[in-house]
Amino acid sequence: TEATLRESENRFRNLAFNSPDVVFVLDVRKHQTLFFNRDSYLGYSRQELESPDSVLVNVHPADRDRVLKIWSDLRNSDINGSLSMEYRLRAKNGRWVWVQGRQTVLSRADDGQTEQVLVTLTDIDERTRQMRRSTGQNLILKDLSTGTGLPEILRQIARNVENECPESRCDIHLFAPESGIPTATAEQRADLAQPIYSSAGIPLGTIRLFRDSSTPLPPDAQTILEEYAALASLAIERQQAELELT
């Protein structure tokens, strides 16, 4: 009955408005947002979020094909369950944020094609960044254990920092020029820096981060530099110990 339907809709809205996730309903044929449980998200206003394809246009270029494939499957197949995937969305300030998107078909038109889809976006940015950083650091530790040279280890550290801080450039300035690592001039001012200390507290160098755009650094950028500075210290001290044995 109409009363039952109204009660069901009210129950859905109450659940959605109290959900920690972003929840919205799309009419995929008209490219219209029918419901959104937030007044803002990632810095965008409700009006911006309700514009056609507001989420899709902000998907990271490296993830776009996978996301479009999900939506193509939802539109044109007889999927009755949910499809889920992880991808990055660009916040209004330019920062990329990892989310888990779950898409569920709510209704289909007479021709069988999808009409309305329920989308839930869960913020997994911190968890995903920690997992990726842990993987990168474990690979560096593996290289250390297999005798990879100091220059390559430090280059890998710089690449990992740049991957975790998009649109930034990382360099490692050592106080021992014979290391073979390209270093920046002292006149360059870094946006963020972290000293590298030996296990005895002796300064060995600095990891520095330079932004290439107005995109803000990740909130954990300083922690990232601290963790990679510790790995750089291990690599430098290992080389020093090897030199002492020769």
| pLDDT tens, position by position, 9-52 | 667 676 777 788 998 888 888 778 888 888 899 999 988 888 87
pLDDT at 171: 92
pLDDT at 180: 45
Confidence band of 184 (pLDDT split at 50, 70, 90): very low
Top-confidence residue, 50 or 60: 60
Least-confidence region, from 122-136, 171-185, 231-245: 171-185
Alpha helical stretches, state H, the chain = 2-17, 46-49, 64-76, 125-145, 150-164, 221-245
What's the CA gap between 57 and 217, in Å, rounded? 22
**Contact status, residue 92 vs residue 42, Cβ threshold 8 Å:** yes
Residue 231 tokens, joined: 């790995």
Task: List, for residues 196-222, the tens digit of each pLDDT value.
Answer: 999 999 999 999 999 887 788 888 899
Phi-psi domain of 53 (left: phi exceeds 0; alpha: psi -120 through 50; beta: other): left
> pLDDT above 90 covers what percent of the chain?
42
Task: List, for residues 77-86, the tens digit of each pLDDT value.
Answer: 666 678 889 9
pLDDT at 76: 72
pLDDT at 12: 65
The overall average pLDDT reported for the chain is 85
